[in-house]
Amino acid sequence: GIANSHLETAKNISGSVLPILSRLHTEIKNKSKELTHGAAKGAKNVTSARNETQKYIEALGQYTATFDSSGGKIDPPNDPYLLHRGIQYRLHKQVLEENNSRQDLIAVQDNFQSFEAHVIQTIQQSMSAFLQYVGGQAERQKAMYTDMTSTTQRIPQEFEWMNFLHRNGNLMIDPSSPKRSMSSITYPNQDHHSINPLIAGTLERKSRALGGITGYKTGYYAVTPSKYLHQFDDDDNFRKEPTAELSLYLPDCTIGAVSDCRFNVKGKDASKGKVGTAFQMNHEFSFKANTEEDAFKWWKVISEAAGAFNVTSEPPSAASSPVSSRNVSGPPAYVEKHAPPVQTQGLPLRQGPASAGPQSALGQEARSAGSGVAPQNAGPVESPMTAATGTGKGLPP
């Protein structure tokens, strides 16, 4: 009778229909866990990259203010130029993390669209099985179940997904929107005058100690408004951390004259910090540009950053190695220890032959010292003021 029909129907439904819905329920739970763990991991990476970028942006703001208040005197690791390059590196990494997270979320969205269709399809399949087992019921019950099933079959596969998009469209990512680029990102102090180098480009460098062994080595150099000469492997801010391999604080260095595309800078490497610099010795570095015009451009910027008192007229050494330079003999240096400096300012200049002897050379050197320009034909003769202070090699006998 009716009772047995209901019992048979209940048995068939429990054995064939309910397992389909149970599996669907398990799939929905697993999908929820997958979304929670996958999206959370990408969000953590983006948050970490943004915090790292923000830390360097705040450091740039702090040390650009220090640069303005201290007149440009700042430690090498805190040079706004280096901090700016560090921000570029971390912004590049942040954009990569954001774009990767964006791609993951877009993939999750597309996957969920197909998953919603699968949910609707499974429900339709279960309802078809349900209709088959209750077909023996009374016509009234059959009509009722048929109506329920026909209503279910009319549900489009995109019904739930489209309603979800309509309700939460402001939270979804538009796949057609463009990706982020660094050119559209702005941050405080990115246009500060202390981050732009006074001059930058490639030079060849040879150390006085190892020049005979290694020769000249090409590198990327920049003179910053903080009066540092920094050396890098290249000008790439994205491939690796832009850390200076050599930093010379130019006001503490001695700058030689330009000779055939070459000029010398003598000083200490300040990239090791205050403690490391205190125990270092002065080294003389020989730089070579591509052309003599480029060499004069670099020499002019470096000389202005170093100051007039740190610029000498001594040309770079032509020796190929320290061994050969020790074998070259010359006249002994003469230093006038007790003689007072020669008074050259305010005295009338006598017109005479160009080869009038040491007095004409001294007059020419004194006039050059007053104007800040080294004489062109003075040779190795130095001014008496330079000899008295011990910064030069003295006058030849």
From first to last of the 397 residues of the chain, give the pLDDT tens digit. 456 677 888 888 888 889 999 999 999 998 888 777 767 777 888 889 999 999 989 988 888 888 888 777 788 888 888 888 999 999 999 999 889 888 888 888 888 888 888 999 999 989 888 888 877 666 666 777 788 889 889 989 888 888 988 888 888 888 888 888 888 889 899 899 999 999 999 999 986 555 556 688 899 999 999 999 999 999 998 889 889 999 999 999 999 999 889 999 999 888 776 655 556 678 888 999 999 999 999 999 999 999 877 787 666 654 433 333 332 333 333 333 333 443 434 434 333 333 333 333 333 333 333 333 333 333 333 333 333 333 333 333 3
Torsion of CA 207, 209, 211, 217, to 10 degrees: -30
Locate the DSSP E strands across 216-374: 217-223, 228-232, 246-249, 254-255, 262-267, 283-288
Token readout for 344 is: 């050259």
Task: Give the CB-side neighbour count of residue 247, counting CA atoms within 13 A.
Answer: 23
Q: CB under 8 Å to 387, separation ≥6 — which residues?
A: 335, 336, 394, 395
Alpha-carbon distance values, 15 to 10, 21, 118, 126, 137 (Å): 9, 11, 22, 12, 18
Q: How many residues appear in the chain? A: 397
Question: What is the sign of the dihedral through the CA atoms of 292, 295, 301 and 306?
Answer: negative
Alpha-carbon distance values, 7 to 11, 133, 270 (Å): 6, 11, 91
Task: Please report which residue ranges of 168-308 form alpha helices under DSSP H.
Answer: 211-214, 273-278, 292-306
Q: CB under 8 Å to 125, separation ≥6 — which residues?
A: 20
Residue 269 carries which DSSP code?
Answer: B
Q: Based on the number of CB atoms within 10 Å of its own CB, is 259 exposed (0-12), middle (13-18) or buried (19 or more)?
A: middle
For the entire predicted model, the pTM comes to 0.52
Residue-by-residue DSSP string for 166-187: HHSGGGS--TTSPPP-GGG---
Beta bridge partners of 269: 248
